[in-house]
Structure 1
């Protein structure tokens, strides 16, 4: 049995002024181009200017060092109860980055977790990810797998129906071929296993101004936020990935027709045989 709230299932919805929020966030990111250039010049890293992708990586890293913790604090009220109450057994943590959410998996909050596989293809993140796992008291059960989610069966050694919990927190918006990856992750879940999700999604208000506004913002947004695409219908792809026994997805708190970067949050439980 599946259920999904419609566009009107929000509370304390924000007003039209919220349409300007993505412009403010983009301006923060663009501002960090200046200190990035200064940093590269002072450190004689001139070859970085010859590669747009390398420059973007350095630029985003400096920006995210400032903005990442603030983004986490904003999302925490929604993410904390999702991860603390539902993660159990053998967990697949997709795209954990540097591990900013690992403190939520502490055993005091999640005594039923037995193993966590952190799927992080960016090896530059592994040192910080390992440190955060140890700091959270998870050093003995957290294993980093340095491959993409699409390679979990071939390179990661993860077999079908061996995972109790899949966790995707603001990662499906930026990984390549997300629809394909979602379909490849679904078979890894055990029957009765849960997928915990907190992701950016395409607005449901396509007939309203915000639908066109979101598409326009998305021309610039991925360049400022490390490839993040805010127009992906991730919730629809999840629902189509396979058979679900129960779906509990809802919009982000207070989000509605004036939100350019809306979210879905909740759980999907795989159908038992």
Structure 2
């Protein structure tokens, strides 16, 4: 059964929202091309993957703050003053949520590793870490989550908090990576989650529409796949003492990009 809404749901016109978001991303193609040519940085023009990274970095500088403002009422109760100890911040992008980890309000945090493979984001990520008073606490690791044990130097059982906010939709082989992240948590460690997921309304039009939108969505949103059953993969990753996952507030059968939000506590 689809989950019951916890707030008033949007109507059918909400199905068109992904088209608006795609148009925002498309707008930044031309400015990215111009910037690369004027700076004589022509390498991304010869490799579409490199160009997408440059394109998304420029787009996200504009759209990231807007996305944060939209999601803040849902994400803030999850993240603010919740992280503790040694933290893994997976796919932080430009660091739009780092203000929630500000050292002045989160004395329980001892270290945060920001795992961000897109080097185009690193400058702003470090700047946001400094602004949040996290100099000496926040360390950027420029590799993928799948490389943490090899290139990242993160050992099993050393992490108190894993943070994934709208990133598991984009990383390669997410089901395998979720299983690889689980052992990094200490017993009793927590996983804080706010992620895109496959709609639960599989019998409704939104399921077909979501799959249709997803044909182009990953190209315009840096590999983001909105049809992944990420919540199911998290539950299957290992044994949990506590699971508190629920749908995004007010999301229902007209949401093409729905979310799961909550916390999982690893078996002690």
Q: TM-score, normalised by structure 2?
A: 0.93
Alignment correspondent of 1:133: 129
Query: Conserved in 2, the CA contact under 8 Å of 1:91 and 1:164?
Result: yes
Alignment correspondent of 1:264: 260
Which of 99, 102, 120 is the aligned partner of 2:98? 102
- In structure 1, C-alpha distance between the alignment counterparts of 2:135 and 2:43, rounded to whole Å: 37
Shift of 1:84: 1.1
Unpaired stretches in structure 1, ≥5 consecutive residues: none
**Alignment pair present for 1:69 and 2:70:** no
- In structure 2, C-alpha distance between the alignment counterparts of 1:146 and 1:44, rounded to whole Å: 24
Map 1:139-150; keep pairs closer than 5 Å: 139-150=135-146
Alignment correspondent of 2:118: 122
- Bigger relative contact order, structure 1 or 2 (CA pairs below 8 A, ≥6 apart): 1
Query: Conserved in 1, the CA contact under 8 Å of 2:53 and 2:118?
Result: no
RMSD, matched Cα: 1.8
Query: Conserved in 2, the CA contact under 8 Å of 1:10 and 1:256?
Result: no
- In structure 2, C-alpha distance between the alignment counterparts of 1:257 and 1:196, rounded to whole Å: 25
Query: Conserved in 2, the CA contact under 8 Å of 1:10 and 1:253?
Result: yes
- In structure 1, C-alpha distance between the alignment counterparts of 2:39 and 2:153, rounded to whole Å: 41
Alignment correspondent of 1:248: 244
Alignment correspondent of 1:219: 215
Map 1:1-273; keep pairs closer than 5 Å: 6-43=2-39, 48-272=44-268
- In structure 1, C-alpha distance between the alignment counterparts of 2:75 and 2:184, rounded to whole Å: 23
Structure 1 residues 106-115 or 255-264, which shifts more?
106-115
Per-residue CA deviations over 1:54-89 (Å, capped at 9, x if unaligned) read 332332222222211101111111111211132111
- In structure 1, C-alpha distance between the alignment counterparts of 2:31 and 2:207, rounded to whole Å: 34
- In structure 1, C-alpha distance between the alignment counterparts of 2:72 and 2:10, rounded to whole Å: 19
Per-residue CA deviations over 1:96-125 (Å, capped at 9, x if unaligned) read 122111111013322211111111223333
Q: Secondary structure at the match of 1:160?
A: coil
- In structure 1, C-alpha distance between the alignment counterparts of 2:229 and 2:50, rounded to whole Å: 29
Number of residue pairs aligned between Structure 1 and Structure 2: 268
Shift of 1:45: 5.3
Q: 1:245 to 1:98 in 2, by over 3 A?
A: same
Unpaired stretches in structure 2, ≥5 consecutive residues: none
Q: Secondary structure at the match of 2:177?
A: helix
Query: Conserved in 2, the CA contact under 8 Å of 1:164 and 1:193?
Result: yes
Q: 1:39 to 1:132 in 2, by over 3 A?
A: closer
Q: 1:95 to 1:106 in 2, by over 3 A?
A: same
- In structure 2, C-alpha distance between the alignment counterparts of 1:156 and 1:49, rounded to whole Å: 29
Structure 1 residues 86-95 or 123-132, which shifts more?
123-132
Q: Secondary structure at the match of 1:219?
A: coil
